[in-house]
Amino acid sequence: MKLQRFLRSGRSNKQESLFAVVKGITGFSPKDLSLYTRAFTHTSMEETDADGKKINYERLEFLGDAVLNTIVAAYLFRELPQNNEGSLTLMRSKIVRRDFLNQIGEGLGLIRHLSSNVPQKKYGPDVHGNLFEALVGAVYLDRGFDACSTFVYSRVITPYVDLSKLRNQVLSYKGLIVEWFQKKRLNFRYEVIDDSGAEKATYYKAKLWLDNKIIASARATNKKKAVEKVSKRAYFQFQHQIKTIQSKH
């Protein structure tokens, strides 16, 4: 008990705070706080260690992405023994997709603990997922694969992954409708034009042509979103005919 008090007294208030944050998020006591300091440090801080190496979350994000994919792959391998490689890959991509990881990171409030010289309002939504991946990387290095798996299960798989619902989830409406058009050997094309008009914000309008007829149109703030939106609208026009393809996704 005296030794524990001594060790605690040797930490700064900042370290104590980080210790409590990590324990609250992961459920265990961190061993190497420097890993978590790195996981919560933005590149804009321009910090370096004694060897001149940059201190920020980017390398941990890279590692965390790989570890997270491995944990999810192992989970799917056990839970879906009848699925082939292609199906397992698709299911994994549905779990580790960027928007889902952003939701996880945002729900955990990770950005509140980020050291940065950039105003929070200037971050894109991906910062939440990036921080979560960096945290996964830090946990893996600090506590090993088994503890990291426990963390991922508790924060991702157990509360949010429903395999029965995931089977019917569409990752890309464009990919699905293009595949169907190609299988049917239909003549189609996308058309995307600037549709900002007098508005200050930039907008794009996407049109989907089938033969010589526009079957759907949609508007969004970037080209990719506009194309996905128009594909989704077209999909719902043909969904009963696409069921055989959708069941594979």
Give the active site residues: 65, 133
Largest interatomic CA distance in the chain: 81
Pairwise CA distance, residues 140 & 135, whole Å: 9
Pairwise CA distance, residues 139 & 195, whole Å: 46
Tell which residue, 74, 249, 240, 77, has the closest CA to residue 175: 249
Taking each helix axis from N to C terminus, what angle separates 13-26 and 126-143, rounded to the nearest 10 degrees?
Answer: 100
In a 3-state reduction of DSSP, which class is residue 87?
A: helix
In a 3-state reduction of DSSP, which class is residue 37?
A: helix
Does an H or E element contain 78, and which?
helix 58-79
